[in-house]
């Protein structure tokens, strides 16, 4: 203890010692104050003025404060900046203790442990990830305190972990190491850097080492659940729990079980594919044009969280997928039931999170009101479905059985327990209880006799005051005399300045204000005291009743969460059915076959962005055993990327258990979706585009299996023509011969189409365009065979290249095409033995060297990325060269 500090600052120092990583919000009356380094750090982030405490004294410290009732906005901003905030509260009523009020940290809020509804995105989970790196397995635990969910899994290496974490999108990552070196022999710093780079939105921190001796005490009642976990997974779980407990010293954690998830039971969508396919966020940023956005018609928060999770982690088990599809189909067929369900569900709100806040002891009266309303809507929903008699429908809906609860430690969930709680809440609470007790009544009259009496007392007191005012006016003859109350001054008598002389001698002057004089007298003081006491006791009784009700709600939090999970499944199925109905999706046939056949398939997002009915549907038929690799050619803007992406999105939708935008679809299970798109599409990142492109391609070739779906859009574009073509060629060959997976390969290298002559598994398709004079019309229709030409000049015209440049380009093109008809540069089918026969590699013997150079320049030209000025300069240069 530092004797130079005042007792209050000693309390602060103790809190800081206990939570050195957190900014301490130290409660002093109506404010949270920050001191020392915390104040210096936070003041600029929160636009606060930095002042100081004990100014001029030896223990002067910087200080900044925020009003306690508006604290959560400030807390949110500090979390946003990646900080942790410890709330150090007054543990007793300052008016009742002699000397210094005891203070204690009751809660540390960190980005990964937010439970406040206003700070959470209701449509996403808020994960804290804890990692244990070092052994043969990397253990991962994901904890969402706001929904009381805890999941664990093990991975063979850090890169697999990164892929998994990027789908979960944790807000905070705690990284611990079992040994000095990590499994992939990265140092601790390297591992942390890799995590930070892969998860730009998360606060990534190194956590202290775990003490192996403490295992069971830290796991508490969850210990039995961890028996089937790998040691690294158990360590990760311990790390998450230890952290959450340390941050919530005042309340037990509401987590009741650990769900182990096996990464192999989900369709892997690599990080790049998640981004390129714009599943949950678009490349331009924001959720505007994402797949999630177009399929999320859910009515409850838990439903929309579940939908998002399913979209990012579709299944790879036929039976489970079919069960989900059955439920969607049920709601497609029974459209009346669907709309009834929707209207019942729309009152459910966020039952899950409200109930977990109760379990954490953090629920406000307002939360309890929401819980009551949510339970009522939930009851209506269950009743609606319970009326159904058809046993098949009941089975599909999961009624009667409780598949979500397994294991003997789970209590039996009945709607009755929830109904009982709803009735209790309903008896107690007013229609709209306030978040803060000071903002109005919480309890109905008649609910608690004592509370009603205290209320009558304080009301009687106030009426007494009004009577007193009338009497004093009479007695003094001051008609403007007023009895008033303010929070700071309490009750007083106010007399205007001109009348002040008439105030009785026995009155004590309390304060002089602009409008007049303020007085008190013994009679007023005594009455004020009686009112204050009644107020105080009323407040206490209200808080007492509230605490009882919160703990009642807490005791039911587990069944309520189970009920919410059940509703969420119905919600998701009905939402997908609604989308299927409105946008004409079909039920996909999913099995273990080798095909991927889509008839009249559409891109679910693009079709909504263009005029209705304008999207041109296309057929795709890939088969591992037959044509598995399609080379797709066609001019820029014809719709190649759209086609590629729509195939991947259709497979993802089907395997998450959704209907798909097509006339029919047959999906033989896919185990991974891997993709990479053209270099020019992520130029913004400012990295060497070719390097990025190649490392993404490398990743794909390493991860793909025979069951994967690979989508490659314009690879090799980031380098010179020869290199690019050579690499694209080799990659396509490798995909076909070494991996043998289903793949779509869009390319502008027409030479590549010769691959189909080399392999029976490769086929050429093109997205057609039609020439009308010098113009081009995109038909967006996929047809067999390679594109005959690239329409580059026509596209250049569309883009606004000046007419003289276009004319000159046409002339040059004609010339070049004539030359390439000469035998020496004729396209020849390359073979493995004679790769030098590939046209581009052929020596330009028949062409004069200057011409050859001009041809090379033109071939290497990326018209898409050419400004009109550059085009003109190029034409000038070409002319010079000739």
Q: How far is the CB of 651 from ligand ADP (least distance, A)?
A: 18
- Binding range to ligand ADP, per CB under 6 A, among 30-38, 240-248, 511-519, 634-642: 634-642
Both tokens assigned to 503: 């105030």
* 152, 140 Cβ separation under 8 angstroms: yes
Site size toward ligand ADP, by CB under 6 A: 14
Choose one: 102-110, 316-324, 635-643, 822-830; the region binding ligand ADP (CB under 6 A).
635-643
The footprint of ligand ADP on residues 200-229 (CB under 6 A) is none
How far is 731 from 736, CA to CA, in rounded Å? 9
Give the three-class secondary structure for 712: strand
Is position 615 an interface residue for ligand ADP (rule: CB under 6 A)?
Answer: yes
- Report in angstroms how near the CB of residue 643 gets to ligand ADP at its nearest: 7
Least Å distance between CB 285 and ligand ADP?
Answer: 18
Query: Chain centroid to CA 531: how far?
Result: 50
**Separation between Cα atoms, residue 533 and residue 521, nearest integer Å:** 18
Asked if 251 and 244 touch (Cβ cutoff 8 Å), the reply is no
Regarding 738 and contact with ligand ADP (CB under 6 A), the answer is no
Nearer residue to ligand ADP within complex by CB, 642 or 655: 642
Cβ closest to ligand ADP, residue 194 vs residue 616? 616
Nearer to ligand ADP, 569 or 603 (CB): 603
Q: Is 661 in the site for ligand ADP (CB under 6 A)?
A: no
- Which residue number, 204 or 605, has a Cβ lying nearer to ligand ADP? 605
Among 245-253, 310-318, 610-618, 751-759, the segment contacting ligand ADP (CB under 6 A): 610-618
Residue 800 beta carbon to ligand ADP: minimum distance, rounded to whole angstroms: 17
- Rule CB under 6 A: choose which of 147, 564, 641, 655 binds ligand ADP: 641
- 639 binds ligand ADP, rule: CB under 6 A: yes
> Do 416 and 382 touch, CB atoms closer than 8 A?
no
Q: In the bound complex, what is the minimum distance in angstroms from residue 122's beta carbon to ligand ADP?
A: 32
Nearer to ligand ADP, 246 or 683 (CB): 683
Stretch of 72-80, 143-151, 196-204, 637-645 contacting ligand ADP, by CB under 6 A:
637-645
Six-digit token string for 32 = 């949270």
Binding of residue 610 to ligand ADP (CB under 6 A): yes
End-to-end C-alpha distance for the chain, whole angstroms: 88
Q: Which one of 28, 42, 63, 616 is in contact with ligand ADP (CB under 6 A)?
A: 616
Which range of residues in 123-131, 167-175, 487-495, 613-621 is near ligand ADP by CB under 6 A?
613-621
Rounded Cα–Cα distance for residues 161 and 129 (Å): 11
Q: Cβ distance 194 to 186 under 8 Å?
A: yes
Does 780 bind ligand ADP (CB under 6 A)? Our answer is: yes
Binding window for ligand ADP (CB under 6 A); candidates: 122-130, 197-205, 337-345, 632-640 = 632-640
Whose CB is nearest to ligand ADP?
Answer: 639
If the CB atoms of residues 279 and 825 are measured against ligand ADP, the closer one turns out to be: 279
CB 223 within 8 A of CB 334: no
**What is the phi-psi region of residue 47: left when phi exceeds 0, alpha when psi lies from -120 to 50, beta otherwise?**
left
- Please name the residues in contact with 60: beta carbons below 8 A apart, sequence gap of 6 or more: 52, 53, 54
Q: Residue 133 in 3-state DSSP?
A: strand
636 binds ligand ADP (CB under 6 A): yes
Per CB under 6 A, 642 contacts ligand ADP:
yes
Stretch of residues binding ligand ADP (CB under 6 A), selected from 465-473, 552-560, 640-648, 691-699: 640-648
> Taking CB under 6 A as the rule, does residue 640 contact ligand ADP?
yes
- Among the candidate windows 44-52, 177-185, 342-350, 630-638, which touches ligand ADP by CB under 6 A? 630-638
Q: Let me know: does 642 contact 626? Beta carbons within 8 Å.
A: no
Our finding on whether 638 is near ligand ADP (CB under 6 A) is: yes
How far is it, in rounded angstroms, from Cα 195 to Cα 199?
Answer: 6
Residue 130's DSSP bridge partners are: 141, 174
DSSP string covering 337-384, please? HHHHHHHHHTT--SHHHHHHHHHTT---HHHHHHHHHHHHHHHHHHHH
Q: Shortest approach of ligand ADP to residue 685 CB, angstroms? A: 19
Minimum CB separation of residue 620 from ligand ADP in Å reads 12
Strand-by-strand arrangement of the 203-206 sheet: 203-206, 172-177, 128-133, 138-144, 149-155, 258-260
How many other C-beta atoms lie within 10 A of the C-beta of residue 831? 12
Instruction: Sheet containing 508-513: give its strands across.
Output: 482-486, 490-496, 516-520, 508-513
Pick the closer one to ligand ADP by CB: 129 or 793.
Answer: 793
Nearer to ligand ADP, 19 or 615 (CB): 615
Nearer to ligand ADP, 225 or 607 (CB): 607
Of 448, 546, 531, nearest in space to 483 by CA: 531
Looking at residues 579 to 608 of the shown chain, list those that interact with ligand ADP (rule: CB under 6 A).
Answer: 606
CB of 307 to ligand ADP, least distance (A): 26
Min CB(109)–ligand ADP separation in Å: 43
637 binds ligand ADP (CB under 6 A): yes
* DSSP symbols for 620-651: EEEETTS--EEEEE--TTSSHHHHHHHHHHHH
Tell the smallest beta-carbon distance from residue 650 to ligand ADP (Å).
13
Nearer to ligand ADP, 478 or 638 (CB): 638
For ligand ADP, the closer of residues 175 and 646 by Cβ is: 646
* Least distance to ligand ADP, CB of residue 681, Å: 9
Cβ 586 to ligand ADP shortest distance, Å: 17
Pick the closer one to ligand ADP by CB: 388 or 779: 779
CB distance 194 to 163 below 8 Å: no
DSSP character string of 665-714: EEEE--SEEEEE--GGGGGGG-S-HHHHHHHHHHHHHHH--TT-EEEEES
DSSP letter, residue 798: H
CB crowding 423-454: b at 16 or more within 10 Å, else e: ebbeebbeeebeeebeeebbbbeeebeebbeb
The single residue listed with the structure tokens 């209506």 is 380
Residue 150, C-beta contacts closer than 8 angstroms, at least 6 positions apart? 141, 142, 143, 144, 222, 237, 240, 241, 255, 257, 258, 259
Instruction: Report the residue number, 342 or 791, with the smaller CB distance to ligand ADP.
Output: 791
Of 331 and 615, which has the nearer Cβ to ligand ADP? 615
**Which range touches ligand ADP (CB under 6 A), out of 499-507, 567-575, 636-644, 821-829?**
636-644
Nearer to ligand ADP, 634 or 830 (CB): 634
Q: Is 261 left (phi over 0), alpha (psi -120 to 50) or beta?
A: beta
Residues near ligand ADP, by CB under 6 A: 606, 610, 614-616, 634, 636-642, 780
């Amino acid at each position: 203890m530092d004797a130079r500090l005042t007792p209050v600052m000693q309390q602060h120092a103790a809190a800081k010692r206990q939570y050195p990583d957190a900014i301490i919000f130290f409660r002093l009356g109506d404010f949270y104050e920050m001191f020392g380094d915390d104040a210096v750090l936070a003041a600029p982030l929160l636009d606060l003025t930095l002042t100081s405490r004990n100014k001029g004294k030896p223990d002067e410290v910087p200080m900044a404060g925020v009003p306690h009732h508006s604290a959560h906005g400030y807390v949110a901003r500090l979390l946003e900046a990646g900080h942790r905030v410890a709330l150090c509260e007054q543990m007793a009523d300052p008016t009742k203790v002699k000397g210094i009020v005891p203070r204690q940290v009751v809660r540390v809020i960190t980005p990964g442990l937010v439970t406040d509804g206003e700070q959470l995105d209701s449509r996403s989970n808020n994960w804290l990830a804890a990692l244990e790196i070092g052994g043969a397995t990397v253990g991962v635990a994901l904890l969402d305190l706001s929904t009381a969910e805890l999941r664990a899994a093990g991975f063979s290496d850090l890169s697999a972990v990164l892929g998994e974490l990027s789908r979960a999108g944790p807000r905070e990552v705690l990284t611990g190491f079992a040994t000095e070196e990590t499994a992939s022999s990265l140092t601790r710093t390297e591992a942390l850097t890799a995590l930070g780079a892969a998860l730009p939105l998360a606060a990534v921190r190194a956590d202290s080492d775990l003490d192996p001796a403490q295992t069971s005490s830290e796991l508490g009642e969850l210990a039995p659940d961890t028996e089937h976990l790998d040691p690294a997974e158990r360590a990760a779980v311990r790390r998450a729990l230890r952290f959450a407990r340390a941050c919530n010293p005042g309340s037990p954690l509401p987590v009741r079980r650990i769900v182990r998830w096996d990464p192999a039971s989900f369709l892997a969508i690599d990080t790049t594919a998640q981004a390129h396919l714009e599943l949950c966020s678009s490349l331009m940023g924001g959720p505007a044009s994402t797949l999630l956005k177009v399929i999320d018609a859910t009515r409850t928060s838990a439903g929309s969280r579940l939908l998002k999770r399913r979209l990012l982690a579709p299944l790879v088990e036929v039976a489970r997928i079919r069960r989900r599809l059955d439920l969607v189909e049920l709601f497609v067929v029974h459209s009346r039931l669907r709309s009834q369900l929707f209207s019942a569900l729309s009152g459910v709100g966020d039952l899950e999170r409200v109930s977990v806040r109760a379990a954490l002891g953090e629920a406000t009266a307002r939360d309890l009101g929401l819980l009551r309303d949510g339970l009522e809507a939930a009851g209506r929903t269950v009743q609606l479905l319970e009326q159904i008699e058809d046993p098949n429908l009941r089975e599909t809906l999961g009624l009667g059985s409780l598949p979500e609860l397994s294991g003997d430690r789970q209590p039996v969930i009945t709607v009755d327990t929830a109904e009982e709680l709803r009735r209790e809440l309903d008896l107690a609470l007013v229609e709209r209880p306030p978040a803060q007790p000071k903002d109005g009544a919480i309890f109905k009259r008649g609910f608690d006799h004592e509370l009603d009496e205290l209320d009558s007392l304080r009301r009687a007191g106030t009426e007494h005051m009004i009577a007193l005012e009338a009497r004093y006016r009479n007695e003094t003859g001051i008609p403007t005399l007023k009895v008033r109350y303010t929070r700071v001054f309490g009750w007083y008598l106010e007399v205007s300045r001109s009348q002040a002389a008439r105030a009785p001698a026995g009155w004590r002057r309390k304060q002089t204000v602009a409008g007049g004089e303020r007085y008190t007298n013994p009679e007023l003081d005594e009455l004020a005291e009686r009112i204050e006491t009644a107020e105080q006791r009323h407040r206490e009784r209200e808080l007492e009743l509230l605490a009882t009700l919160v703990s009642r709600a807490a005791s039911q939090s587990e069944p309520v969460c189970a009920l919410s999970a059940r509703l969420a499944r119905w919600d998701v199925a009905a939402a997908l059915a609604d989308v299927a109905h409105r946008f004409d999706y079909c039920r996909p046939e999913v099995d273990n076959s080798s095909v991927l056949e889509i008839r009249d398939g559409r891109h679910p997002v693009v079709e909504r962005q263009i005029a209705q009915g304008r999207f041109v549907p296309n057929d795709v038929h890939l088969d591992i055993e037959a044509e598995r690799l399609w080379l797709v050619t066609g001019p820029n803007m014809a719709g190649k990327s759209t086609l590629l992406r729509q195939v991947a999105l259709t497979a993802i939708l089907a395997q998450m258990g959704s209907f798909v935008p097509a006339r029919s679809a047959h999906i033989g299970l896919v185990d991974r979706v891997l993709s990479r798109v053209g270099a020019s599409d992520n130029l913004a990142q400012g990295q060497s585009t070719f390097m990025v492109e190649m490392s993404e391609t490398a990743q794909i070739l390493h991860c793909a299996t025979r069951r994967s779906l690979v989508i490659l859009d314009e690879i090799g574009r980031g380098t010179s023509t020869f290199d690019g073509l050579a690499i694209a060629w080799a990659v396509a060959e490798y995909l076909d011969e070494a991996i043998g997976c289903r793949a779509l390969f869009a390319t502008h290298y027409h030479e590549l189409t010769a691959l189909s002559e080399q392999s029976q598994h490769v086929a050429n398709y093109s997205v057609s365009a039609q020439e009308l004079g010098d113009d081009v019309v995109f038909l967006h229709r996929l047809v067999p065979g390679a594109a005959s030409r690239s329409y580059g000049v026509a596209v250049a015209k569309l883009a606004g290249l000046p007419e003289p440049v276009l004319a000159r380009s046409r002339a040059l093109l004609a010339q070049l095409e004539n030359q390439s008809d000469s035998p020496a540069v004729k396209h020849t089918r390359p073979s493995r033995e004679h790769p030098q026969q590939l046209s581009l590699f052929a020596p330009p013997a028949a062409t004069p060297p200057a011409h050859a150079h001009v041809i090379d320049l033109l071939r290497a030209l990326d018209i898409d990325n050419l400004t009109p000025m550059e085009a003109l300069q190029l034409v000038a240069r070409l002319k010079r060269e000739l």
